[in-house]
Structure 1
C-alpha cells in the first residue's frame, strides 16, 4: 500500500488492496465480537487482493484443485461462518457484528478453569506445556524458560544493564505509528516530527545533555545518532526511542533496529518488545 523501505528493496512489488477494497472477516482482540469488513469501493486497476495472488500462485503450482481454492473472499467468509455455527454472510452484513461472548458463568470462570479438575495452576510446567495447552507443534520451548521461577514473578530473562551498558532501551511504537505503514503517511509524520530519544532530566543533567542535542546510543550490535528529548516522566536509567521510523528518517540512515535483538522469547516465542541494554553519550 506504501513504498516502505521493505518494498523499496524488492525486485517485484505487488500492490495490495486496502481494507475497504475487499470483503473480510475480523476476529476481535481484547473482546469477543466478530465483525464483517465488507468491500465498499473498487481498488485501482493495477491492485490485486492477497487472495487473488494466492489463487494465481496455486494455479501455476498445480495445486488449485485442493480444498479451499476457487472461492471468493465472500465465499470464504460464508464457509467460515457456517462451519462455526455463526450464520451466513448476509446475516452478518445485516447485523454488522456477532457478540461471541460466552455465558457469564463461563466468562468469569465460575464453573472452573480449563483443566480436568477445574482448578487454576499457579505453577505451570513451561518445559512440557501448561496443560491443557501444549507448546506449538514443531516449535517446543524457546529462550531461557528454565530460568522461570516456580511461581509468577518478575524475572530478568532478557538483557540486563551492566557497567558498560547502564541504560535500558525501550522502542515502543509512537502514538501515530501503529506500524511502518503509518510512517509513510504525511499527517502521521507531521505529528511525530522526527526520531527522538526520550531521556530523564536526571540522566540529562548528569551527562550534560540538553533538549535537541544530538546524542549517540549503542551496544555490541552497533550505534545510532539521534536527537534528545528531555521528558519529565521518563524514569532514570531508561531510554525510550518511539518508532516505527524508517532508517532514512535517522541522521545516519540507520534506524533504532541496529540496536535491537531478535532472540527467541521464552517460553514459546513472540514479541520481546526490544528491551535492550545500551550506553549513552553526547555526540
Structure 2
C-alpha cells in the first residue's frame, strides 16, 4: 500500500487488475498524484467492494456493494482491554450487499479453487481465529462467546503484559543489544536514523517546514470522513502553524493556504497556534479528495519512500513550504 502509486505505474510485469476492499487507497496512500495516474490507466481493470462511493470507487470499472457490521458476523479483539466480543448481525444484508468473505468464496468457486478452506462459513472462520489451547482462553469456547456476546480473557486481576519478561526475543528479555538485528546486518543498539526529509536535508532550503498529518478529531483515516455531521464539525481541511512561521509568511487565522513540495500541493485554511512547534506544520487528515475544496488532500505531498527497517511508510518524513493562496 505504501508504494501502490509506483507499483501501478511501473511494476514489471504490469499490474492489469486491482481488487480493493476495506480501503480507499486514492485518499490514504502517499503521493496520491501517482496513485491517481495509476488508477486512471485504460488497461487497468479495477473492482472496488465498499459501502460508499469513495474516491477510489470513482475509478472502479466494477463497484460492488459491501455489508456493514450491522449485517455480518464478526469478532472483535481488544484495544487496551481484556475482552473478546462477537458481532452478531442485526439485520440481513440489504440489497445485493455481501461481506468480503462471501464474495471471496464465490470468486474462489468461479476461479476453480477446490481447497476446503474456500467452503468455510463465516462461523467457521470466526472459530478458527482462536487458539483454543491457549491458557488465556481456558474455559472459553466459540459456543459460549456466541451465547454471551463477550468474555474476558482468563487472566488474573492486575495482570500486565511482560511484567515478568517473556518477550519474543532469544533471551526472553527486553534487549537493548539485539542479536537478531545484528544477525540481519542492522545496528543492534538503539540509534538515530536520519529521516528521508528533515531540517538538515538539502531539500530544507526550498521546503523548510516538516509536515505531519495526524487524523482529524472526527475522522478515522477516511472512515466517517463523508459523514455530513462530522464534515460540519471539521469545517474544512486545516493546517496548524506556529505564530512565528505564520508571521514570516503573512498568515493569519483562516487564511487560505497552499501547501506544496516537489511531489504536489493541496490547499487548507490556516490555524495559527503555539501548540505547534516552530518549523513544523500539521495538516488534519484524511479528507476525501472529492470533499475537499480543491479536490486534493495532504497525501499529495507525502512520500512513497520506505523505512530502512520493516519497509514501512514514511508519511512524516515530509518537507513542505506554506504560502498564502
TM-score bracket for the superposition, by shorter chain length = 0.7 to 0.9
Aligned residue in 1 for 2:259:
217
Using the TM superposition, give the Cα deviation of residue 51 of structure 1 relative to its aligned residue in structure 2, in angstroms: 1.1
Aligned residue in 2 for 1:121:
175
Q: 2:303 aligns with which of 258, 261, 276?
A: 261
Aligned positions, number:
265
**Does the 8 A contact of 2:236 with 2:268 survive in 1?**
no
| CA RMSD of superposed structures (Å) | 2.5
Aligned counterparts, 1:69-80, within 5 A: 69-80=118-129
Q: Distance in 2 between matches of 1:204 and 1:254?
A: 22
Aligned residue in 1 for 2:288:
246
Q: Distance in 2 between matches of 1:28 and 1:268?
A: 24
**Does the 8 A contact of 1:195 with 1:249 survive in 2?**
no
Aligned residue in 1 for 2:206:
164
Residues 1:88 and 1:28: Cα distance change in structure 2 (over 3 Å) = same
Aligned residue in 1 for 2:143:
90
> Scaled by the length of structure 1, what TM-score is found?
0.83
SS in 1 for 2:62: coil
Structure 2 stretches of 5 or more lacking a match? 1-50
**Does the 8 A contact of 1:33 with 1:101 survive in 2?**
no
Structure 1 stretches of 5 or more lacking a match? 130-144
Using the TM superposition, give the Cα deviation of residue 112 of structure 1 relative to its aligned residue in structure 2, in angstroms: 4.9
Q: Distance in 1 between matches of 2:169 and 2:175?
A: 9
SS in 2 for 1:174: coil
SS in 2 for 1:180: coil
Q: Distance in 2 between matches of 1:18 and 1:271?
A: 28
Aligned counterparts, 1:141-152, within 5 A: 150-152=188-190
SS in 1 for 2:129: helix
**Does the 8 A contact of 1:82 with 1:88 survive in 2?**
no
Q: Distance in 2 between matches of 1:276 and 1:111?
A: 37
